[in-house]
Homo-oligomer: A and B are copies of this chain.
């Protein structure tokens, strides 16, 4: 549904091959949209068929040739059309929430341990994002246009990680009359 458009955004920022796109989807774009390389290749093929992108084969130093994709005018029009189309809120689908709600039907202490691990992961990611923010956007007030958009999406990632850390902490506090530190391994 939207992978095509995520790819159009990414290729508009900078043309890339399938594998390069895959790496982006494991990094910056991947903060809010993930995709495997197979899916990307398949969608790229369809987009090329529809003339939304155009491939240019590039011979490389020692490696295999790569096909570098760039957005065509038709692709740009499609992206602009989609950007302006009505926006639906993202459906929130959380396996974690299902588990938390069902915790009393399983091993509560195991769930608490998992939640501690999960909170640690989110805290790590949050720290990483905050580092990126400081490093890449020292003066947010000076930003505008696409740079500002990139910054604001990073801000969204930061806010989201804070949501997770906050919620999981509330969960642990409510269920654990223990202290916040771990007597065990994780966290």
Interface string of A120-152 (1 = CB under 8 A from B): 011000000000000000001000011011101
Smallest Cβ distance from A150 to chain B, in angstroms?
6
In the assembled complex, A99 has its CB within 8 A of some CB on chain B: yes
* Chain B residues with CB below 8 A from A6, complex form: 98
Most buried by B among A111, A145, A166, A174: A174
Known A-B contacts A104-B149, A159-B166; the reply to A32 vs B84 at CB < 8 A is no
Known A-B contacts A87-B96, A90-B96, A102-B8; the reply to A152 vs B171 at CB < 8 A is yes
Q: Interface residue count for A (Cβ, 8 Å)?
A: 70
Pair A100/B156 contact, Cβ less than 8 Å = yes
Pair A93/B175 contact, Cβ less than 8 Å = no
Q: Which among B97, B155, B160, B174 is the interface contact of A92 at CB below 8 angstroms?
A: B160
State in angstroms the CA–CA spacing of A167 and B94 once bound together. Answer: 19
Chain A, 1-50, CB within 8 A of any chain B CB: 1-2, 5-6, 8-9, 12, 29, 31-34
Supply 12 A–B pairs (Cβ within 8 Å), ascending by A.
A2-B98, A12-B105, A29-B101, A79-B105, A80-B105, A84-B110, A87-B96, A89-B121, A159-B163, A159-B166, A160-B163, A162-B163
